Structure 1
């Protein structure tokens, strides 16, 4: 599964007006922890890509999206469901921590 680069139009159309679960990673090229998170995020997209759509936002290239989401620290992973923020994780964490977070939104019995 591929990770899509999120644009301002995509944010409005695919995230805010979207259905289902989306994960957005906010990052910057100059951020060491962000670079360390990249392979973890790619693995998460491979593992959860059939139930969650994955996006990337470089805050230096798309500051309007970061501002709209109130991003103050990176790396930052935001989870949207049906157009609403349902979860967020700031900072670098082990892959297993992200997996636990995302699995909450892939279980059809969970009404999160």
Structure 2
């Protein structure tokens, strides 16, 4: 089972912007109910698509600079980054099938 890697403002560039694979960034916070609801879904999809896309989690409370630079106003927000650029961004809790189809948009 593959789990999303925790990243910080300090590791974001090397883990996300310079990644050879597309990266799904999960902007979340410990106190956020919908974020906790999405965590097992993110991990399940990460284990299914992990060979084609990388999944990371960024705690917005501990890493506000990166969240600000992505214009994150509500959480959970998911950004799909490819070649250092945001390819697709979406927010809110959703069923696994819906989340997976949003992620797969970057792969097709």
Q: Same fold (TM over 0.5)?
A: yes
Contact 2:23 2:55 in 1 (8 A): yes
Distance in 1 of aligned mates of 2:18 and 2:60: 21
Map of 1:89 onto structure 2: 90
Map of 2:49 onto structure 1: 48
Unaligned runs of 5+ in 1: none
Q: What secondary structure is seen at the aligned counterpart in 2 of 1:45?
A: helix
Map of 1:26 onto structure 2: 27
**Number of residue pairs matched?**
107
Unaligned runs of 5+ in 2: none
Provide the TM-score with structure 2 as the length reference: 0.91
Contact 1:19 1:83 in 2 (8 A): no
Map of 1:17 onto structure 2: 18
1:61 shift after superposition: 1.0
Provide the TM-score with structure 1 as the length reference: 0.88
1:100 shift after superposition: 0.9
